[in-house]
Amino acid sequence: MFKCILAPDSFKESLSAMEVVEHMETGIRRVLPDAEVVKVPMADGGEGITDALVNATGGKIISLQVTGPLSEPVDSYFGILGDGKTAIIEMAAASGLALVPPHRRDPFVTTTYGTGELIKAALDQGCSKIIIGIGGSATNDGGAGMAQSLGARLLDTGGNQIRPGTVGLGDLVRIDLSGLDPRIQSVEIFVASDVQNPLCGLTGAAYVYGPQKGATPQTVEVLDSLLG
């Protein structure tokens, strides 16, 4: 008997890793109907990491609506692993590239606010550990929106909250953390990523990943300066 182990990553903006293995199994069974098929969907910190870890640990998916990258409501989700206390969140599910039509991709305005809402929802579930997969995002705001949704106030010269997206960072003069959700202090937060790029510079977030999010060669330098 043949034994086939299927361990693909997702196909970006096309299929989740779980959907990929389902299609692979269908193809295998057309040729080898009696084969033993072991499905182990993988993820690199981007789309699919929630399904991969929830399936591997016998956890569960929590569905909810959050603020999407364009500041519009989107249907989203996060996972709680089999231990019942570890949440798995993927930025792509709340602030992801697949949630923004190609003609509307603009890292100056897209926000991570919804990712913060997922973190808050995980805290509401009593999770004491949070894993955040940061791949596949449509954003370049340095986590500003995420911080705002958790209670931080990022203020301009008039004492008003800055605008969503990287563009708002140009107005930032003061950060007020007095309203930050106090539960953040008591949880462990881990970042899941397969890269080691710094935040700024020629190998940083704007220069390397900005173009896929809608930045042009002329605007990546501005994005980079706003992050700095």
From its phi and psi, is residue 17 left (phi > 0), alpha (psi between -120 and 50) or beta? alpha
In degrees and rounded to multiples of 5, residue 153 shows phi and psi of -110, 115
Residue 143 · residue 114 · CB < 8 Å: no
pLDDT in tens, 167-226: 999 999 999 999 999 999 999 999 998 888 999 999 999 999 999 999 998 899 999 999
Extents of the domains making up the chain: 1-42, 43-227
Helix-strand-coil percent breakdown of the chain, rounded to 5?
A: 35, 20, 45
- pLDDT range class, residue 138, cuts 50, 70, 90: very high
pLDDT in tens, 60-94: 999 999 999 999 999 999 999 999 999 999 999 99
Looking at 29-43, 69-83, 140-154, 180-194, which range is the least confident one? Answer: 29-43
Q: Which residue has the tokens 């949630």?
A: 99
Distance CA 32, CA 23 (A): 14
Of 77, 23, 26, 25, the closest CA to residue 54 belongs to 77
* pLDDT of res. 45: 62
**Burial letters 213-225, b for 16+ CB under 10 A, else e:** bbbeeebbebbbe
CATH topology of domain 43-227: Glycerate kinase, domain 2 (3.90.1510)
